[in-house]
Amino acid sequence: MRCDTKIYFVTDAEKTLVDTPGAENYGEYEAGKPKEVERYADVTDTQTKTQQVVYGMLREGSRTVRLNEAFREPFDHIRIEDRETGESVLYDVDAKRILRRRSTFICHEVL
């Protein structure tokens, strides 16, 4: 398996309350920067049979992400960079399988 695609496991930042009196946004919540963990993975389109099992129908924009290592840290999304265009697309995970040494995630594109 060739892990040649750069992916990022994204954890959304927590919102914090601005409690400094006199601040312009006093009493409002501010979002910080999301945390990202970079890895290299094998990214392919999800097979038709797998889509039938996971979704019960065919779904456009579904990807299968395979890592040569077990990734057990909590995360919210996966961001995948396209090697040719350099654009990034955000994906939500629908199914995951974490074995002793490998991880597999089945995701769909977030619009």
Residue 28, domain member (yes or no) = no
Does residue 101 belong to any structural domain of this protein? yes
Total of domains in the chain: 1
Is residue 21 situated within a structural domain? no
Of 55, 45, 96, 54, the residue nearest 75 (C-alpha) = 96
Here the tokens at position 60 are 């456009």
Q: List, for residues 82-93, the tens digit of each pLDDT value.
A: 877 888 999 999
Which residues are bridge partners to 62 per DSSP?
108
Examine residue 73 and state whether it is found in any structural domain, yes or no: yes
The verdict on residue 47 lying in a domain is yes
Task: Give the distance between the most distant pair of CA atoms in the chain.
Answer: 59
**Other residues' Cβ atoms within 10 Å of the Cβ of residue 88:** 12
- Looking at the domain assignment, is residue 95 inside a domain? yes
Residue ranges making up the domain that contains 68: 5-12+34-109
The predicted structure's pLDDT at residue 63? 93
Q: pTM value? A: 0.80
Q: Is residue 18 part of a domain?
A: no
Structural domain contains residue 17: no
The CATH number covering residue 55 comes to 2.40.10.270
Ramachandran angles phi, psi of 72, nearest 5°: -110, 0
Give per-residue pLDDT as tens, 37-65.
999 999 999 998 888 888 888 888 899 99
